[in-house]
Amino acid sequence: MKKNFAIITLVFLVIVVVTGIWMYQMFFGPAVEERVTVLLRADESYEEMTKKVKSSLEYHLSFDIYAKRINLDRGIEPGKYTFEKGMSVVQVARTLKFGSDNAVLLTINNARTPEILAGKISRQIYADSLSLVNAMRNSELIKELGFESAEAMFSIFIPNTYEVYDDISPEALVRRLKRESDNYWSLEHRQTQLARVGLTPYEVMVLASIVHEETNAVEEMPRIAGVYVNRLRMGMPLQADPTLKYAAGDFTLKRVLDKHKEIESPYNTYKHLGLPPTPISMPDMAAIESVLCYEEHKYIYFCARPEMDGRHNFATTLAEHNRNAAAYHKALNNRKIR
């Protein structure tokens, strides 16, 4: 009898220990197999949010049990959450309970429109693209920051990586990017560069946007910028084809024709002297630096090479330029590009 009782007691203790270890493992053992970041939005239900989270967990039932115990269903703060490899169910649930990882690195680079830039930003922070576009096109905010249009404002943002809160409001982000732009231009060596090129920060961004659209060959950008600086100083029209594409509302144009040069627009630099009223896009850093560090030379013309390799032939005389242009147009005709 005593022997049977001892056996039963031992079996019971083994079951208790095994169950305890199993339950401990389910709640406190590693549940996240790989580091993962999850974005939870305000328009998602509790079930939708937790479904996203549980897709990264090994133990779903224990998550539901612990989530109920801490009343997680009363509300999860929307935001971006990062769960490290090896985190337990308890750690994940408590992270959701007490808030998201707030600081993120936001990278912005070149974009042709506020809408495109908003789309890029919305993939990195909590704000959606529509609210970002609305902020960039908010007339009161535009006026507050000293601009006349959304195109003028968004295109002066400096391409870089910034640390921001993932729940930053669109309006606060726009103001932050404006401050970063002001800081960029206030540096002493930047002021020296501006004095050399003879342009204001805004004018640099306008010219950089044209250079950016002219070529993908970064090594050519300072030379192209130098052509435009020479033209500005000589009082010549810029005659920049990208501004015609902007005026026509079509950056996909393969060939700029004479009819495009007749477009009535302040962005038609064949008809109007000087720079267009705003940048035609948000330029990348290479284009900005190419204007600030433009190449000094005597070229006043350039034309795409007939090899169509993305590079250009440069000329100091109109006769030389016309020969380059004829070779390029012949190549276009041979390829039936109209």
Domain end call among 98, 119, 145:
98
Q: Is residue 17 very low, low, confident or very high in pLDDT (cuts 50, 70, 90)?
A: low
Same domain, 114 and 70: no
Same domain, 228 and 277: yes
For the ranges 131-135, 228-232, 328-332, the maximum mean pLDDT occurs at 228-232
Domain assignment of residue 47, yes or no:
yes
Pairing of strands 103-108, 160-165: antiparallel
Same domain, 208 and 158: no
Among 135-139, 304-308, 319-323, the minimum mean pLDDT is found in: 304-308
* pLDDT value at 21 more than 90: no
Domain end call among 70, 98, 126:
98
Domain end call among 98, 113, 135:
98
User: What pLDDT, on the 0 to 100 scale, is given for residue 266?
Assistant: 94
* pLDDT value at 66 more than 60: yes
Mean pLDDT for the stretch of residues 255-266: 88
Same domain, 79 and 122: no
Q: How many domains does the chain have?
A: 3
Domain assignment of residue 65, yes or no:
yes
pLDDT tens readout for residues 282-297: 999 999 999 999 999 9
Same domain, 176 and 203: no
pLDDT tens readout for residues 216-236: 899 999 999 999 999 999 999
Mean pLDDT for the stretch of residues 306-318: 91
Same domain, 37 and 120: no
pLDDT tens readout for residues 158-183: 999 998 887 788 999 999 999 999 99
Same domain, 57 and 115: no
Domain assignment of residue 171, yes or no:
yes
* Domain limits for position 130: 103-186
User: What pLDDT, on the 0 to 100 scale, is given for residue 10?
Assistant: 59
Contacts by 299-304, CB closer than 8 A, 24 or more apart:
299/223, 299/226, 299/227, 299/230, 300/227, 300/230, 300/231, 300/234, 300/236, 301/227, 302/223, 302/224, 302/227, 303/328, 304/328
Same domain, 158 and 233: no
Domain assignment of residue 302, yes or no:
no
* pLDDT value at 108 more than 60: yes
Domain assignment of residue 211, yes or no:
yes
Same domain, 223 and 283: yes
Domain assignment of residue 195, yes or no:
yes
User: What pLDDT, on the 0 to 100 scale, is given for residue 321?
Assistant: 93
User: What pLDDT, on the 0 to 100 scale, is given for residue 161?
Assistant: 93
Same domain, 130 and 212: no
Q: How high is the mean pLDDT of the chain?
A: 87
Q: Is residue 102 very low, low, confident or very high in pLDDT (cuts 50, 70, 90)?
A: low
* pLDDT value at 103 more than 80: no
User: What pLDDT, on the 0 to 100 scale, is given for residue 329?
Assistant: 87
Our CA angle for 328, 330, 336, nearest 5°, is 110
Q: Cβ(263)–Cβ(277) under 8 Å?
A: no
Same domain, 8 and 69: yes
Same domain, 171 and 134: yes
* pLDDT value at 1 more than 80: no
Domain assignment of residue 287, yes or no:
yes
Domain assignment of residue 321, yes or no:
no
Q: Is residue 29 very low, low, confident or very high in pLDDT (cuts 50, 70, 90)?
A: confident
User: What pLDDT, on the 0 to 100 scale, is given for residue 39?
Assistant: 84
